[in-house]
Amino acid sequence: MKIGVPNLNIQVQNVNVEVLNRKVAVLNLSVPVFNLDVPTLSLKISVLSRKVEVLNVNVGVLNRKAEAPSVSVEALKENVLAFYTNRHAQHRKPQRGERLLFDVAFAEEAYDLAGI
């Protein structure tokens, strides 16, 4: 009886070793799958970098468009100044040298009212 029990124990240990070997084989099969994902990750990072470059180009274009209206605002200010200067020149007879100063002050007040 005593001799038979150790033999059974040895067989059980052998079965455990075989199962362990199978798990190691499965683990080894998983490693190449992980290695295949790395180039895919690199491609995704490359695509993301290109999207960021396109975004930067779009932001650059947007910045250029944002710069353009500043010229228009300056032109608008000049037009407002000219309009009010001419308008007040028609309705008022200022003293000599007074007209330009009065009209510029009035035009600046008009800028504030217009929110320019």
Q: Please write the tens of the pLDDT for every residue from 28-59.
A: 555 555 555 566 677 777 777 777 777 777 77
Residue 85: the pLDDT is 67
| CB distance 108 to 84 below 8 Å | no
CA distance 80 to 66: 22
Residue 26 identity: V
Q: Does residue 62 carry a pLDDT above 50?
A: yes
CA distance 14 to 5: 15
Query: Global pTM?
Result: 0.24
